[in-house]
């Protein structure tokens, strides 16, 4: 199958939530036709990958039935793939990942790092597509109960290494693997900032690194005023700032709801690094 997508800049992964309850845009693209059109629009804006998810992973989210998740994502992926649009499947279920790849999906993005479904690693090995392993400790409903670390950077690096080794033991090729420190998943705001500050340490592992900070709650807390945390749709400038810094630190890709802003951000980072050359 295809290798990990590459470019001369950090890639931008556009978020397409085909869900009823995602924290930022849940319900907006639950209709298949609306979801397909939004995926096209993200692609037109310059997204390198469209990350399609059918189950919310926001803190406290309830799980959906596997067939519901599959029915949400497969028609969208099939339609986008038929138009030559590169997609990833955001799922923790091996059966959903398989159905998505059969429909034309190019990348598996498992926020559980292979922990939620014991079949995921072997499925990724069999399908032989790029495989994103995110740091994870528990499902969304309970994950914040596990936000305790001796040293969050060291602990996350060790636990990601364990997930990498489990994938390799299942037959996944090293060249397939991408890692993600899992911002917001069993993490406090302070944990998230420590991980971002240490992006270069994740890059130094030699694996491509995905940074997924878009609109997350720790940005809302940072930008809070007397009325409370900044709402998700007011976090785009902060997201773009993180995209710039992540790109400058060598991240393989950033995941973003507002593609154009993050595409501009990674373009600025490349120009800064290259002395103005695009």
Residues annotated as catalytic (active site), given as ranges: 216, 255
What SS3 state is found at 133? strand
Backbone angles phi and psi of 149, in degrees to 5: -140, 150
Backbone angles phi and psi of 275, in degrees to 5: 70, 35
What SS3 state is found at 248? helix
Mapping DSSP onto H, E and C, the string for 157-223 reads HHHHHHHHHHHHHCCCCHHHEEEECCCCCCCCHHHHHHHHHCHHHHHCCCCCEEECCCCCHHHHHHC
End-to-end Cα spacing for the chain: 30
Mapping DSSP onto H, E and C, the string for 70-111 reads HHHHHHHHHHHHHCCCCEEEECCCHHHHHHHHHCCCCEEEEC
CA-nearest of 262, 173, 152 to 211 is 262
CA distance 269 to 169: 36
CA distance 51 to 73: 10
CA distance 246 to 208: 12
Report whether 135 contacts 182 (CB < 8 A).
yes
């Amino acid at each position: 199958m295809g290798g990990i997508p590459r470019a001369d800049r950090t890639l931008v992964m556009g978020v397409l939530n085909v869900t009823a309850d995602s924290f930022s845009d849940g319900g907006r693209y639950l209709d298949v036709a609306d979801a397909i059109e939004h995926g096209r629009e993200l692609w037109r804006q310059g997204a390198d990958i469209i990350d399609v998810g059918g189950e919310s992973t926001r803190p406290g989210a309830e799980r959906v039935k596997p067939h519901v998740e599959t029915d949400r994502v497969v028609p969208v992926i099939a339609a986008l793939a038929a138009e030559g649009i590169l997609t990833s499947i955001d799922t923790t279920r091996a059966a959903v990942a398989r159905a998505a790849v059969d429909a034309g999906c190019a990348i598996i993005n498992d926020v559980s790092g292979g922990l939620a479904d014991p079949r995921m690693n072997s499925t990724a090995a069999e399908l032989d597509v790029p495989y994103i392993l995110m740091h994870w400790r528990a499902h969304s409903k309970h994950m914040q109960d596990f936000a305790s670390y001796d040293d969050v950077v060291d602990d996350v690096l060790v636990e990601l290494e364990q997930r990498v080794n489990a994938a390799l033991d299942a037959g996944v090729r090293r060249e397939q693997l991408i890692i993600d420190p899992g911002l917001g998943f069993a993490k406090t705001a302070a944990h998230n900032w420590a991980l971002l500050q240490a992006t270069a340490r994740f890059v130094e592992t030699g694996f491509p690194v995905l940074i997924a900070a878009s609109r997350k709650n720790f940005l809302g807390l940072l930008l809070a005023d007397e009325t409370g945390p900044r709402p998700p749709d007011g976090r785009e400038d902060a997201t773009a700032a993180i995209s710039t810094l992540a790109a400058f630190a060598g991240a393989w890709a950033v995941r973003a709801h507002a593609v154009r802003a993050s595409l501009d951000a990674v373009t600025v980072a490349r120009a800064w690094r290259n002395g103005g050359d695009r």
